[in-house]
Amino acid sequence: MLASCLVFPAAWAANAPAGTAAAAAPGYRLPPAALQAVADAPSPPQLVLSRQREWGALLQTPPLPGIAEVAQPELKLAGLRIHPRTHSRSAFSFAQRLWLMRISDGQEVQIDGLPSPLSLSTVSWSPDQRYLAFNRVDSGSGANELWLVDVDAHRAWRVAEKLNTTADKGYRWMPDSRSLLVFLQPAGQGAAPADDGIPVGPAIQQTAQGAGQRSIRTYQDLLRNEDDAKRLEYYLATQPARIALNGHAEPVGVPGLYTDLAPSPDGRHLLSQRVERPFSYLVPLGRFPHRIEVLDANGRYEHEVARLPLVEGLPTGNDAVPTGVRDIAWRADAPATLVWAEAQDGGDPAREARIRDAVMVQAAPFEQPPQTLIELGTRFVDVTWGRGDLALVDEFWWKDRKIRQWRVAPDAPGQAPVLLSERSEEDRYADPGQPATFDDENGRARLFTDAQGQFLYFVGEGASPEGDRPFVDRLDLRDGQRERLFQSQAPFYERPRVPLDASGTQWLTTRESPDEPANWYVRTLGATDAPRALTHFAHPLPQLRGVQKEQIRYKRADGVDLTATLLLPPGYEAKRDGPLPMLMWAYPGEFKSAAAASQVTDSPYRFNAVSYWGPQAYLAMGYAVLNNPSMPIIGEGDAEPNDTYVQQLVADAQAAVDEVVRRGVADRGRIAIGGHSYGAFMTANLLAHSELFKAGIARSGAYNRTLTPFGFQSEERNYWQAQPVYEAMSPFNYADHIKAPLLLIHGQDDDNSGTFPIQSERLYAAVKGLGGNARLVMLPNEAHRYRARESIMQMMAETNDWLQQYLGAPSKAGASAKGKGKAASP
């Protein structure tokens, strides 16, 4: 294993002879003050609404956690990352402040009795909105607790200790709002299985001919041996209990390896899902054998729904699914009715079949066989419940990107479904939006209609050639006609969130503009008055107020229309200051049509959010940024997009470079390309197959596709079906062509499927061995997304040094004009 974090001074690096190993300087580095300010900028509070939208809970997340917190012990078992001391999922971003806001007038209310530190993980409103529950996880003390807040009294108190939240959030409100269903650590469980390092035997797997081809994706954090299996059983073991508001606990059923336990809307039944042996070394927990049962409210067995076997592989294709019961849940608008999907084609998209999925329903007391709600020609996605004569069912087929929405009458099974919409999932301009919902008296999401039940309401992004313009539509259920009630207008980006009254006239929205962050508003549809502000969140980086933002459009050589967001430092003028060094940051996407690939994305009126994670941070150093330039990979008809991946990728990048140079904002010889994950893969490919960029920055990518042989990203074919494609797309195979300097950054504990840390290690070794110019930074204790403040600072320092070393720092004259109010570059 390479050194955990290779660091050396930038000045030394510039003079180091080729092939010299980096000197390992101790400790983490800090970027310039202007970049530190970006990383430490406060994030806006989150708003969690109560059922009747009369109250909101505001949560404030603190600055980035330190490496000491991120580096705490962590178990990696069956795709889970578990904090062993707290019996919880590993998490490092907890809210440290909680308060209430009354939606009617925006008045904020403080809460007495909150714990310190708060360390709030999740929150949930009671159905009657009188109480707020939250989970407190404190790694320092090992606490995993359940707390309640009395809204009227503005007071908090603890009701349960020793929750188990390894596989679930650990608690749910019962429909009557008088108690909660909670996952507890079993009493008398004893110590975790000891790991003395002495194996009990080899780990053995076996397959046999005749089982058929199965697609086995690459997963991280899998079980490795029987010791791991025993540890998984220990940390998954849960005792369900019902906790009253005063903290009195009653056990519900017996301990088990529960992954879910959900009360029915009437509170009389529980839908239980438990993991069973045999476990697997190839797939994560969700593919293990599961037993699905219905229990009564006291945890006694009532009905077995299914026993699902271990699924260690699926047929080839993104439309492949397991056979048997899938996506099971309670019907929201009925007392106790189960609904689930079942594949009718063996889960195999290559098999000819008129019906792919059937949506089944079965009502308590579960004595009658399941009934078919609807048969679908493609895969079931979701169902949104309204009432006995109204529910919406969505289906989707990846191969042709077709998505359909049906109106069904759940209580009239003989009534034919009505097709409400059909389109390509890629066609953003034709997106009808998502149906608006409300939470009923049992806390279940239901379709929002007017008082007479004649209209549905839809909320969408409103993609258009002018950019995204969110909207509210009203659908007349009698004739299917739509009426637009609201659409965001310049110079704001205003997004409707939820209706506030029964008539659908008042809505809660968020509104923002390039220089004003998103705040919450109350808007009356159709009124000429401006919306009423509920919050007044300040600009987190006022020194970068005035960043210039433009949604630019240009064409690829073959005529495909492309878009990007061009960002320039405050005060910059192209004619006066000349072209700038530029950082271009992108992420490719696959499309089945050039028309879909050409559609405009984003909005010119969104807030200029400057985050440490994206490229915008380097505006603070005076660089120009081209964010999210279109990088479409198109395969129309029977063609597969990736068959011409490299050619299209280079054409996309060429068009972007030509456009920013034509505009006079970038110097052709001083442009860097970068990206994270699939964007890192793109970066390495562009350096290997073009001379467009002076340098590259690739974070947490995959570079050798033979290490992901059963598909990656949107590629359906396996390596043996499309070997030339896998090899042509792997920049590792062209490491000898990578001549521009390449900065590789990767989390040592990457948890993302396919982006194993060895991907960066091997590409670095290849470039080094071939005499190229590369730098590898492995961040200790970091996953696919970096979490510790020290890691973020290191990432920003490395990126800034790379840009300055190979693009050159923006001129001092230009920087002073561009960077008014910000810290100067070193």
Check whether residue 640 and residue 760 sit in a common domain: yes
- Contacts (Cβ under 8 Å, ≥6 apart) of 770: 735, 736
Cα 572 to Cα 767: distance, rounded to the nearest angstrom: 37
Is the Cβ–Cβ distance between 418 and 442 less than 8 Å?
no
> What is the chain's mean pLDDT, rounded?
92
State how beta strands 301-308 and 482-487 pair. Answer: unpaired
pLDDT confidence tier of residue 745, bands split at 50, 70 and 90: very high
Task: Return the higher-pLDDT residue of 725 and 216.
Answer: 725
State how beta strands 445-447 and 437-439 pair. Answer: antiparallel
At 203 the pLDDT is: 81
Query: Region 130-146: what's the mean pLDDT?
Result: 95
Query: Region 197-221: what's the mean pLDDT?
Result: 79
Per the confidence metrics, is the pTM higher than 0.85? yes
Check whether residue 691 and residue 777 sit in a common domain: yes
From the list 179, 677, 690, 791, the catalytic residue is: 677
Mind listing the pLDDT tens digit for each residue in 461-479? 999 999 999 999 999 999 9
Query: DSSP readout, 93-132?
Result: --B-EEEEEETTT--EE--BS--SS--EEEEEE-TTSSEE
> What CATH number is associated with residue 96?
2.120.10
Is the Cβ–Cβ distance between 656 and 629 less than 8 Å?
yes
Mind listing the pLDDT tens digit for each residue in 85-99? 999 999 778 999 999
Is the Cβ–Cβ distance between 374 and 359 less than 8 Å?
yes
Q: Is residue 440 part of a domain?
A: no
Query: Region 758-774: what's the mean pLDDT?
Result: 97
Is the Cβ–Cβ distance between 386 and 449 less than 8 Å?
yes
Query: Region 216-232: what's the mean pLDDT?
Result: 93
Which of 93-97, 449-453, 746-750 tops mean pLDDT?
A: 746-750
Domain-terminating residue out of 297, 313, 329:
313
pLDDT confidence tier of residue 202, bands split at 50, 70 and 90: confident
At 217 the pLDDT is: 84
Cα 598 to Cα 633: distance, rounded to the nearest angstrom: 11
Check whether residue 520 and residue 404 sit in a common domain: no
Q: Is residue 436 part of a domain?
A: no
Check whether residue 527 and residue 386 sit in a common domain: no
Check whether residue 606 and residue 752 sit in a common domain: yes
pLDDT confidence tier of residue 151, bands split at 50, 70 and 90: very high
CA 73 to chain centre: 24
pLDDT at 720 over 50: yes
The question of whether 677 is a catalytic residue gets the answer: yes
Q: Which residue has the tokens 């336990």?
A: 261
Closest CA to 71 of 57, 100, 48, 92: 92
The structural domain count of the chain equals 4
Q: Is residue 84 exposed (0-12), middle (13-18) or buried (19+ Cβ within 10 Å)?
A: middle
Cα 219 to Cα 196: distance, rounded to the nearest angstrom: 26
For residue 734, the SS3 value is helix
Task: Return the higher-pLDDT residue of 254 and 5.
Answer: 254
For the record, the structure tokens of 671 come out as: 């442009």
From the list 319, 577, 750, 751, the catalytic residue is: 750
At 817 the pLDDT is: 37
CA distance to 521, 718, 735, 777, per residue, from 585 (Å)? 32, 29, 21, 19
At 91 the pLDDT is: 79
Cα 148 to Cα 131: distance, rounded to the nearest angstrom: 7
Cα dihedral sign for 653, 659, 665, 670?
A: positive
Query: Region 591-604: what's the mean pLDDT?
Result: 93
Domain-terminating residue out of 538, 568, 597:
538
CA 42 to chain centre: 21
Q: Is residue 31 part of a domain?
A: no
At 2 the pLDDT is: 33
pLDDT confidence tier of residue 121, bands split at 50, 70 and 90: very high
The question of whether 561 is a catalytic residue gets the answer: no
Question: φ and ψ at 651, to 5 degrees?
Answer: -65, -40
At 470 the pLDDT is: 98
Mind listing the pLDDT tens digit for each residue in 3-18? 333 333 333 333 333 3
- Contacts (Cβ under 8 Å, ≥6 apart) of 416: none
Closest CA to 101 of 536, 411, 468: 536
CA distance to 299, 303, 435, 456, per residue, from 478 (Å)? 44, 40, 17, 11
- Contacts (Cβ under 8 Å, ≥6 apart) of 616: 547, 567, 608, 609, 610, 625, 627
Q: Is residue 208 part of a domain?
A: no
Q: Is residue 25 part of a domain?
A: no
Compute the residue count for the chain: 826
pLDDT confidence tier of residue 413, bands split at 50, 70 and 90: confident
Q: Residue type for 818, please? A: K
**Alpha helix ranges (H) inside 206-333:** 226-236
From the list 154, 303, 737, 784, the catalytic residue is: 784
Running DSSP on this structure, what letter comes out for residue 238?
B
Cα 152 to Cα 182: distance, rounded to the nearest angstrom: 24
Question: How many C-beta atoms surround the C-beta of residue 197 within 10 A?
Answer: 6
At 414 the pLDDT is: 83
Check whether residue 627 and residue 654 sit in a common domain: yes
Task: Return the higher-pLDDT residue of 793 and 810.
Answer: 793
Q: Which residue has the tokens 């693009």?
A: 807
- Percentage above 90 pLDDT, the chain: 88
Question: How many C-beta atoms surround the C-beta of residue 476 within 10 A?
Answer: 12
pLDDT confidence tier of residue 212, bands split at 50, 70 and 90: low
Is the Cβ–Cβ distance between 332 and 440 less than 8 Å?
yes
- Contacts (Cβ under 8 Å, ≥6 apart) of 562: 553, 554, 555, 556, 598, 629, 630, 632, 652, 655, 656
- Contacts (Cβ under 8 Å, ≥6 apart) of 660: 566, 582, 584, 624, 626, 666, 671
Query: Region 174-191: what's the mean pLDDT?
Result: 95
Is the Cβ–Cβ distance between 734 and 712 less than 8 Å?
no
Query: Region 347-369: what's the mean pLDDT?
Result: 97
- Number of separate helices (H) and strands (E) present in the chain: 12, 47
pLDDT at 24 over 70: no
Q: In degrees, to the nearest 5, what angle opens at C-alpha 281 toward C-alphas 275 and 283?
A: 65
Mind listing the pLDDT tens digit for each residue in 650-667? 999 999 999 999 999 999
> What CATH number is associated with residue 716?
3.40.50.1820
The question of whether 750 is a catalytic residue gets the answer: yes
Q: Is residue 30 part of a domain?
A: no
Q: Is the peptide bond before 251 cis (omega within 30 degrees of 0)?
A: no
Query: Region 691-698: what's the mean pLDDT?
Result: 98
Check whether residue 466 and residue 521 sit in a common domain: yes
Check whether residue 277 and residue 179 sit in a common domain: yes
Q: Is residue 372 part of a domain?
A: yes
Q: In degrees, to the nearest 5, what angle opens at C-alpha 460 toward C-alphas 458 and 465?
A: 140
Check whether residue 285 and residue 159 sit in a common domain: yes
Mind listing the pLDDT tens digit for each residue in 26-66? 689 999 999 999 999 999 999 999 999 999 999 999 889 99
Check whether residue 232 and residue 326 sit in a common domain: no
For residue 469, the SS3 value is coil
Check whether residue 116 and residue 222 sit in a common domain: yes
Q: Residue type for 748, please? A: Q
At 687, which helix (H) or strand (E)?
A: helix 678-689
pLDDT at 553 over 50: yes
Residue-number span of the structural domain to which 693 is assigned: 545-818
Domain-terminating residue out of 313, 340, 372:
313
- Contacts (Cβ under 8 Å, ≥6 apart) of 225: 199, 200, 203
At 604, which helix (H) or strand (E)?
A: none
- Contacts (Cβ under 8 Å, ≥6 apart) of 209: none
Check whether residue 479 and residue 525 sit in a common domain: yes
Cα 376 to Cα 344: distance, rounded to the nearest angstrom: 9
Is the Cβ–Cβ distance between 615 and 627 less than 8 Å?
yes
Q: Residue type for 282, please? A: L
Query: Region 105-118: what's the mean pLDDT?
Result: 96
Half-sphere exposure of 102 (CA within 13 A, CB side): 9
Q: Is residue 609 part of a domain?
A: yes
At 35, which helix (H) or strand (E)?
A: helix 33-40
Residue 53: strand pairing partners: none
Query: DSSP readout, 73-84?
Result: --EEETTEEEET
Query: Region 263-288: what's the mean pLDDT?
Result: 97
Cα 674 to Cα 698: distance, rounded to the nearest angstrom: 6
pLDDT at 577 over 90: yes
Cα 252 to Cα 184: distance, rounded to the nearest angstrom: 11
At 797, which helix (H) or strand (E)?
A: helix 789-806
